Structure 1
Amino acid sequence: MKKENYTMNATPQRSKRPRPITSTQDVQTSRNNPALAQKIQEVSARIIKENYELYKDLENK
């Protein structure tokens, strides 16, 4: 086992490469999953509304 020395502000390098996506895997995206697209839209709208309220509250301080 190789021992690595880390110093402040050093970024360790990952030795493990990400797994490639093969064509046999079903990757769920908003393009091929309408339910996921709807969920993303709902969450995005909620976050936008929350951010608007936060900025509005900061502006009124």
Structure 2
Amino acid sequence: MNAGDKLKIVSLGSDAGTGQKQVTSVELLGEKNKIEWKQEADGLNIVYPDSAHLKTAVGFRIVCK
């Protein structure tokens, strides 16, 4: 993935029907800056930040209400 690329996690969409609750925060592990994200009906959309070094695997901390 490159900075600015988008990731959609369909199973975390507000209409996914999986019993998931509202997402309250998303963090890219190892990144101090906030990242852009939005939970929509069709999925949780995350934008990789320009400041992130994405040469290795990445992990997200996703907190739900």
TM-score normalised according to structure 2 size: 0.20
Larger relative helix fraction: 1
Larger Rg: 1
Higher relative contact order (CA 8 A, sep 6+): 2
TM-score (norm 1): 0.21
